Amino acid sequence: MASKCLRELIAEADERGLAASGLACLERCLPLLAAEADALRPLWAGLARGGDAWPASLAAAAEALAATAALGGDTGDPAAALVRQMLDAAPSAWDAGPLREWADDCSVAALELHHRLDAGGPGRGEPAAADVVEVLKGCREGAPAGAGPLVAGELRRQLRVLEILAAGEGGAGLRQVLGVSTEGQRVLRAVVSRQSRVRG
């Protein structure tokens, strides 16, 4: 049986899977916001407790990351702005419709950010919009032609996260998802650091 593509997995996920999928994308992109590596841990803890804890945990995480962004001085960075938008757009309602839209948007945003870094990062020229659209469309439909190594890695992690969540392993599944996302965060943090040294 052929593996399902990213769009199919998002379409089939339940509320918990959708919230965790969107949060995992955000977790992996934290280095672009100059945020602490564990900045979203309280939100993960709230997610483990279920839908009742989601709104309060989400509000606390948004407040904490807003303070981090202000201290980091990244207000003029378009990549950081996109990461902040990912969190700002998270629905407080524990409902499959808005959560699915958010998870889908986070998937696209995370792939786009990795595509920018594959293209050389800020200061090295942005990839053409049409090129970005075609690469991301192919990735999400199971044919990632033209994807660079960072996009390919992010795609693998998004698929793995959704497959873990679809297996319905409860808290153990969330711990696996966090592990996958922490690995991706380390990769991106190293890339951001290297590109910063090159520009410096």
Token pair for 51: 């839908």
* Per-residue pLDDT at 80: 87
- The domains of the chain are located at 6-199
Assess contact for 148 and 118: CB atoms under 8 A.
yes
* Per-residue pLDDT at 24: 96
Distance, in Å, from the CA atom of 40 to the CA atom of 133, rounded to the nearest integer, reads 29
Assess contact for 20 and 49: CB atoms under 8 A.
no
Length of the chain: 200
Question: Which helix (H) or strand (E) is 134 found in, with range?
Answer: helix 129-140
Q: Percentage of residues in the chain with pLDDT exceeding 70?
A: 88
Q: What's 126's DSSP letter?
A: P
Token pair for 126: 């942005």
* Per-residue pLDDT at 78: 87
* Per-residue pLDDT at 1: 36
Assess contact for 28 and 154: CB atoms under 8 A.
yes
Count of other CB atoms within 10 angstroms of residue 144: 19
Assess contact for 58 and 46: CB atoms under 8 A.
yes
pTM: 0.89
* Per-residue pLDDT at 123: 42
Count of other CB atoms within 10 angstroms of residue 128: 10
The angle at the Cα of 50, spanning 46 to 53, to the nearest 5 degrees, equals 50
Low pLDDT (below 50) residues in the chain: 1-2, 122-125
Token pair for 191: 């890339």
- Give the residue from 5, 41, 2, 1 showing the smallest Cα distance to 144: 5
